Structure 1
Amino acid sequence: MYFIQPTRDIPYLDQLLAALPTVQIIHLEDLDLYDPTIIAIADVADYLECQWTLPTVVLAFENEGASLSQAWEQGALAGWIWNKLPTSLHTSLIKIDAQYKRNQDSRDLPSAAELQKRLLPNPIELLNYKVETLFQPSAYLSGDWYDYWKISDKEIMFYLADVSGHGVTSSLLTSWMAAFHGRSKTPRELIKKLNGMLMQENIEKHITMLAGILNLETHQLRWSSAGHYPPAILIEPNQEPKILTTSSFPLGLTEDLEVEEFECVLNRHARFIICSDGALEPFDGGLSEQMGQLVHHLQNQSFQAPEHVADDIAILSLHRMN
């Protein structure tokens, strides 16, 4: 931490410096040379006159209550009296520093959320198909993720994943998946690869995932699920929607993950849709009732995510156009 040398006489100065023997003393004229994220301790009169941007704990005399109030209004982290310092000064400063860092992290969340959205795949031109997506985090950062990419001129690989929990750790795992899905050529291979890496890192999170591969010429679709709910939904014109239920474990629970592969053919104007479980949250009732309402709205293309959601929502749809 920094201590900014006061420009007025302070009779209690030696008392403070003795309590903080490792503090770095700097001068007002040199402020621009120092790290703007490190907390400074300074006299309130200097703080109010110079109005620097360093995070600062201000010190005042007993009759300078108005100056302390003004300093807080201008952003000072805390205010103390020169001759009545906290008993455990170093511990108090550590707590203030920790709170300051937490607040800084919170201020960074909107920028982090924007960066996360930029990692989502760009729209892609496909022969005979359109990829339709929805991405709505419940807070700034999402633990839901989807991705898709061409593995040849006639095949596309895709997945939708849901990381357990919320917050920064869950969102970091979505970025990890985006970076390390690698050159997998089948849904089973992709799931096995990510599960092995998750088990190796021993992260106390699990991930549900549904991954697939679509042949754009034959319209054959192969997919695998790793404990993902809700299951994939197949919607075709003039047909009852089909819920493609599977049974399996999520990623990150066992090294011996059994992965089945399933197949179907997408007929003209069919839609193969996968959702995160947050897509059920807007609907009332138990899981069965929620699933029925979700399918109804997807079939009628009337699903709308609420402005404020309790859980992240992600939807990925492969729509055969002709």
Structure 2
Amino acid sequence: MQLTGTTLLVIDDDDVVRQDIAMRLQTGGFDVLQANQAGQGLELFARNAPDLVLFNLQMSDQSGLALIRQIAESSPDTPLVVIAAAGDMSAVVEALHAGASDYLLKPLSDLAVLEHVVKRSLEQARLRVENQRIRERLETANRELQNHLQELKDDQAAGHQVQLNMLPQSPWQSGEYEFQHRIIPSLYLSGDFVDYFRVSETQLAFYLADVSGHGASSAFATVLLKFMTTRLLYEQRRQDGNGPIAFKPSDVLGHINRSLISCKLGKHVTMLGGIIDEAQQTLTYSIGGHLPLPVLYSDGHARYLEGKGRPVGLFEDAVYQDNVIELPQRFSLTLCSDGVLDCLSGTTLREKEQQLPRLIEEAGGRLKALMGKLNLQPGKVMPDDISLMMLSRNPG
């Protein structure tokens, strides 16, 4: 049985045919309105908005094609079933092209076919309306998604600009020392960060950090790193006055370790940092779970510096050590994030790490040449953030 509340309109000037159709459809559970003229049918349609209209293509007061156009103009989603003589298929085809949804041929000997056609047309109309609603919802969702994506792009652009503004100048010259860096994010925002700055008249500080993960959350942690190191330097300067200050790399890593754990960001950092004492011509550095280790290049040879330590922000009992070396008169020191290892051939970490000093030797300890050796081209998409920092004195 058809659900109650479905109203049909039958328009036919043949009283016998119209009443037979109406009776059959009423037996099937439909509410049926009847009209014996096209004009009367249009009035009933306007007043009652039926769910489907059946009508004779050939009526005395108006053609079926004109009726189709009038109904379709006011209610394009209402299904229209035309009734025609068996020998008038050309008119049926024309009606279907004009907007009719289905047709019945007289004589209607099997009224079960009538009910089947009506139900099929109603179901098709329901599906068309539902599909239209789905399309509208999808279009609305797509517009909202586009707006959200644009907001995200705007946020990323702003975050990217913040990161750029936080990074130090490259190249940067201070006394005899030159610092350079390159950062290639795997996404729009980077979890890698580098910084270098003067601590006192005879001290230069630097660090390279690789925050776990990618994207905005890791980029936010780099902002926190910048704040913590700047704040620590400020506090140390207040205590020590104008001369050299006790700005030990191990103290910096320990301070950041405690701060990250207390912040509960769910982020940890591998990093390494150092202090150059220009008066003593020494480098003091500390390692926080970072690979690869710094590579020192001098007299045509490159080697890894020694050192180890736990990642920063994971272990409350982590202790960091200071390592001290004398600096050659001419040298460069290369610091890389582990994303650089993706640029090297080899199946094991050891095989990849063995290549880096050799490439630095081939590059003559120069950053631009090393970038070429690593095939790091502008705009190249990498699976991980990549950062390189190189400091040098009197390079050959």
Q: TM-score range by the shorter chain?
A: 0.5 to 0.7
1:253 is the counterpart of 2:253 = no
1:240-279 equivalence runs, <5 A: 240-279=301-340
CA contact (8 A) 1:294 1:303 kept: no
Tell me the equivalent position of 1:109: 156
1:1-322 equivalence runs, <5 A: 97=144, 100-123=147-170, 124-181=172-229, 182-184=231-233, 185-238=247-300, 240-285=301-346, 286-301=348-363, 302-304=369-371, 305-306=376-377, 307-321=380-394
CA contact (8 A) 2:281 2:326 kept: yes
- Please tell me whether Structure 1 or Structure 2 has the larger radius of gyration of its CA atoms: 2
Measure, in 2, the Cα distance between the counterparts of 1:62 and 1:157.
75
Measure, in 2, the Cα distance between the counterparts of 1:264 and 1:293.
23
Measure, in 2, the Cα distance between the counterparts of 1:290 and 1:253.
26
SS in 1 for 2:353: helix
SS in 2 for 1:132: strand
- Highest relative contact order (Cα 8 Å, sep 6+), 1 or 2? 1
Measure, in 2, the Cα distance between the counterparts of 1:309 and 1:199.
30
SS in 1 for 2:174: coil
After TM superposition, the score normalised by the length of structure 2 is: 0.56
Measure, in 2, the Cα distance between the counterparts of 1:164 and 1:247.
18
CA contact (8 A) 1:270 1:320 kept: yes
Letter of the 1:183 counterpart: L
Measure, in 2, the Cα distance between the counterparts of 1:319 and 1:214.
11
Measure, in 2, the Cα distance between the counterparts of 1:62 and 1:291.
71
Measure, in 2, the Cα distance between the counterparts of 1:194 and 1:183.
9
SS in 2 for 1:241: strand
Letter of the 1:293 counterpart: Q
State the Cα distance separating 1:132 from its structure 2 match.
2.0
CA contact (8 A) 2:302 2:360 kept: no
Measure, in 2, the Cα distance between the counterparts of 1:62 and 1:193.
72
State the Cα distance separating 1:196 from its structure 2 match.
1.1
CA contact (8 A) 2:248 2:322 kept: no
SS in 2 for 1:196: helix
SS in 2 for 1:133: strand
Measure, in 2, the Cα distance between the counterparts of 1:113 and 1:253.
27
Measure, in 2, the Cα distance between the counterparts of 1:62 and 1:173.
58
Structure 1 residues without counterparts, runs of 5 or longer: 1-60, 64-80
- Render the CA deviation track for 1:223-274: whole Å, top value 9, x for unaligned: 0011011111111114x32212322211111111110110111112111221
SS in 2 for 1:117: helix
CA contact (8 A) 2:338 2:386 kept: yes
SS in 2 for 1:183: helix
CA contact (8 A) 2:258 2:316 kept: yes
Measure, in 1, the Cα distance between the counterparts of 2:262 and 2:147.
34
Distance 1:212 1:105, change over 3 A: same
Measure, in 2, the Cα distance between the counterparts of 1:215 and 1:253.
30
Measure, in 1, the Cα distance between the counterparts of 2:388 and 2:133.
56
- Render the CA deviation track for 1:187-215: whole Å, top value 9, x for unaligned: 01111111111000111111001011001
* Higher fraction of helix: 2
Q: Would you say how many aligned residue pairs link Structure 1 and Structure 2? A: 244
Letter of the 2:349 counterpart: L
Measure, in 2, the Cα distance between the counterparts of 1:291 and 1:166.
23
State the Cα distance separating 1:120 from its structure 2 match.
0.2
Measure, in 2, the Cα distance between the counterparts of 1:117 and 1:295.
29
SS in 2 for 1:141: coil
State the Cα distance separating 1:102 from its structure 2 match.
4.4
Identity across the alignment (%): 28
Measure, in 1, the Cα distance between the counterparts of 2:188 and 2:266.
22
List structure 1 runs of 4+ shifted beyond 3 angstroms.
92-100
